[in-house]
């Protein structure tokens, strides 16, 4: 299909001598948000990191816009087309604006242009007033907003989110999920979203996959998967949240 942006074919991953991701196919189309849902230890983060080119693959390949990672495209070139946000904000020393502009600086973009691009994203994420604050003085929610801004300012072709709200309190989490949903819809960024919160899947994702023990058990539109689990195990996994 021509609108496939990122495609993984039969990718598998070994970690510490154990097969943590069985040979798996996965695809993300332009503009859609795909959720990866499953219990703890299902291999969700492993799948995301493999798709993001952060783990060595035991088999298979990842392509972006038809170019194969490692063959047609170096990992560095691939990483400069994507962005990722993890569970922890993983901010570096310095101010919020320094962190948010870091990816741009690594791409050799001049300071004046960085400043022009950083401030609007900070405003979108409602942390414009924190631009000069050292990251050590941010709350958890503010830090995660800064981390999201750092990813969004890059205008990535694909955004990988690995449980970005897991460490936040419920009110902050709900607010951020709602705001992120609006941003992703407005900017039409293809997104892969790992979570173990069903409400986040239903709020943010067009499609979702259910992962268990390193294997995709079911995939489809979010509504279909949530309403019509194909196996007893998928139903059990979905019920774990109820």
* Residue numbers at the binding site for other proteins (CB under 8 A): 49, 52-54, 75-76, 79-80, 82-84, 86, 88, 90, 92-93, 102-103, 106-107, 134, 136, 150, 154, 160
Closer of 103 and 141 to other proteins (Cβ): 103
Token digits of residue 229: 């689990």
**Residue 101 or 141 having the CB closest to other proteins:** 101
**Which is nearer to other proteins, 141 or 164 (by Cβ)?**
164
In whole angstroms, give the CA distance from residue 96 to residue 100. 6
Angle (deg, nearest 10), helices 140-152 and 170-187 = 10
Residue closer to other proteins by CB (options 50, 216) is: 50
Least distance from other proteins to the Cβ atom of residue 119, Å: 19
Alpha helices in the chain (DSSP H): 44-51, 75-79, 96-100, 102-106, 111-124, 140-152, 170-187, 198-204, 222-227, 232-239
Measured from the CB of residue 172, what is the shortest distance to other proteins in angstroms?
21
User: Which residue number, 156 or 229, has a Cβ lying nearer to other proteins?
Assistant: 156
Instruction: Quote the least distance from Cβ 147 to other proteins, whole Å.
Output: 9
Q: Which long-range contacts (CB under 8 A, 24 or more apart) does 181-189 make?
A: 183/124, 183/125, 183/152, 184/33, 184/159, 187/152, 188/30, 188/31, 189/31, 189/152, 189/156, 189/157, 189/158, 189/159
Q: How far is the CB of 234 from other proteins (least distance, A)?
A: 29
Q: How far is the CB of 148 from other proteins (least distance, A)?
A: 13
How would you classify the pairing of strands 82-85 and 190-195? unpaired
């Amino acid at each position: 299909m021509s609108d496939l942006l990122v495609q993984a074919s039969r990718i598998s991953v070994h970690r510490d001598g154990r097969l943590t991701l069985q040979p798996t196919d996965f695809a993300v189309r332009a503009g859609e948000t795909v959720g990866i849902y499953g219990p703890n230890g299902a291999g969700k983060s492993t799948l995301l990191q493999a798709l993001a080119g952060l783990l060595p693959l035991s088999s298979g390949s990842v392509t972006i816009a038809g170019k194969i990672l490692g063959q047609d495209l170096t990992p560095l070139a691939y990483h400069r087309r994507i962005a990722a946000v993890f569970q922890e904000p993983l901010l570096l020393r310095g101010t919020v604006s320094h962190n948010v502009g870091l990816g741009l600086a690594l791409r050799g973009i001049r300071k004046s242009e960085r400043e022009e691009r950083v401030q609007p994203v900070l405003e979108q994420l409602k942390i414009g007033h924190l631009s000069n604050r050292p990251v050590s003085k941010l709350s958890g929610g503010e830090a995660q907003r800064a981390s999201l801004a750092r990813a969004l300012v890059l205008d990535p072709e694909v955004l990988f989110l690995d449980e970005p709200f897991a460490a936040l309190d419920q009110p902050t989490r709900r607010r951020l999920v709602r705001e992120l949903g609006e941003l992703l819809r407005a900017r039409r960024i293809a997104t892969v979203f790992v979570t173990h919160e069903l409400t986040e899947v239903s709020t943010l994702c067009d499609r979702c996959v259910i992962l268990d023990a390193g294997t995709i058990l079911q995939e489809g539109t979010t509504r279909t998967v949530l309403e019509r689990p194909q196996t007893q195990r998928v139903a059990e996994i979905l019920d774990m949240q109820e």
